Amino acid sequence: KPGRVIFSGIQPTGIVHLGNYLGAISNWVELQNNAKPEDQILFSIVGWHALTLPQNPKVLRTARRDTLAALLAFGIDPKKTVLFHQEDNQCHTELAWILSCITPLGTLRRMTTWKSRLADSRNANSEDDINEGMLNAGLFTYPVLQAADILAYRATHVPVGEDQTQHLELSRDLAKSFNKTFNGKKRFFPVPEQMITPFKRVLSLKDPTSKMSKSSPDPTSRILLTDTYPMIQQKLRGAVTDSNSHISFDPINLRGTANLLSILSACTGETIPNIVARYTGKEKAHGILKMEVADSLEEIWRQPRQDFERLRGETEFLDAVAKEGARKAKDMTQQTMKEVRTLVGL
Ligand code: ADP
Ligand code: NA
């Protein structure tokens, strides 16, 4: 029985935050450690995607190594997983070009990520017209690059959050469309399946209507891998919670509190109803809950933080890991890309 080919990616856009960890990296580590011998797992640090937003080259170069160091610190093992920088394997951009030539423009225009970029640019210019001229083409076409990231390895499974469902649907459509256009409808690319990660969304500590993100301008809205215990405590003390005095789990109306309960449950494994029960009738419950979250977070953060701080200085080691990952990634795509060129007539 052929194994699964599992692919996922993360952008090198700064220090890894708690949302990345609970929503993605912790699941990747679990997948890696529970994989069957016949499974192949790839995790890519996707530098080309980072370029869709303005980057300071020096900062990007550092973030690229830091992201690799963070993945290693959290337990991604290059012996079990092909861990590599996207831009070290040229075939991602080559396949993206080929796929872009069978991608309907209308499909890209319907991407909610694109629509929200358009809406943002419109607000920024306070014009009623949608101002596409303010946005670069990479922001429009990067879902095709994502499809290429996945299909180049003939991946069968993609562990990503719910926010990626629409993009994965495009990857599935492009796999089918390629097979139909160039391979007489026979399967060349597998149609990849989304593996929805159990932890859906970590919310911003300051605005629990949006997700915790690297791109939010308020640095106190997210907890970073580099945050020390006092910093974690301080950020949690400042977390927005709800005005009712008792603790209950209501992710629709009491989002800030629900976010803290979800984080605590993810850190300790205790169920949310059990946590809520412990807080019944407690005075100053929100303050105590925040400090309990800080303590549990510190428990799971301490060791990776120490490893990260050590690893990020070991640049020769990191570069060697990246080089080995790139070699394996290229090995995996060489034959596929040769066949792709033949199929399209080049
Ligand atoms: P960011 O959104 O902060 O720029 P990335 O786009 O690099 O981070 O995302 C890397 C991975 O982390 C993706 O799988 C994404 O779904 C996940 N992720 C990012 N933010 C969150 C969050 N707040 N909650 C859950 N998962 C998240
Ligand atoms: Na993102």
Looking up residue 290, the CATH number of its domain turns out to be 1.10.240.10
Considering only CA atoms, which residue is closest to atom 16 of ligand 1?
Answer: 161
Both 75 and 160 in one domain: the answer is yes
Q: What is the pLDDT of residue 125?
A: 59
The mean pLDDT value for 292-317 works out to: 97
| Alpha helices in the chain, H assignment, sequence order | 18-20, 26-34, 47-50, 57-73, 91-100, 105-109, 112-125, 137-151, 165-182, 229-237, 255-268, 272-278, 285-311, 315-344
| Nearest ligand to the CA atom of 168 | 1
Atom of ligand 1 lying closest to residue 17 CA: 3
Considering only CA atoms, which residue is closest to atom 12 of ligand 1?
Answer: 20
CA of 22 to the centre of ligand 1 (A): 9
Model's pTM, two decimal places? 0.94
Q: How many domains does the chain have?
A: 2
Q: Tokens 């290693």 map to which residue?
A: 72
Question: Would 217 be classed as within a structural domain?
Answer: no
Both 239 and 269 in one domain: the answer is yes
State the pLDDT confidence band at 215, using cuts at 50, 70 and 90: confident
CA of 10 to the centre of ligand 1 (A): 8
Question: By residue range, what is the domain housing residue 291?
Answer: 226-309
Q: Are 233 and 205 in contact (CB under 8 A)?
A: no
Summarize pLDDT for 186-201 with one digit per residue, the tens. Answer: 999 999 999 988 777 8
Question: Would 212 be classed as within a structural domain?
Answer: no
Summarize pLDDT for 105-132 with one digit per residue, the tens. Answer: 999 999 999 998 888 887 765 555 556 7
Both 319 and 235 in one domain: the answer is no
Question: Would 163 be classed as within a structural domain?
Answer: yes
Question: Would 286 be classed as within a structural domain?
Answer: yes
CATH number of residue 47's parent domain: 3.40.50.620
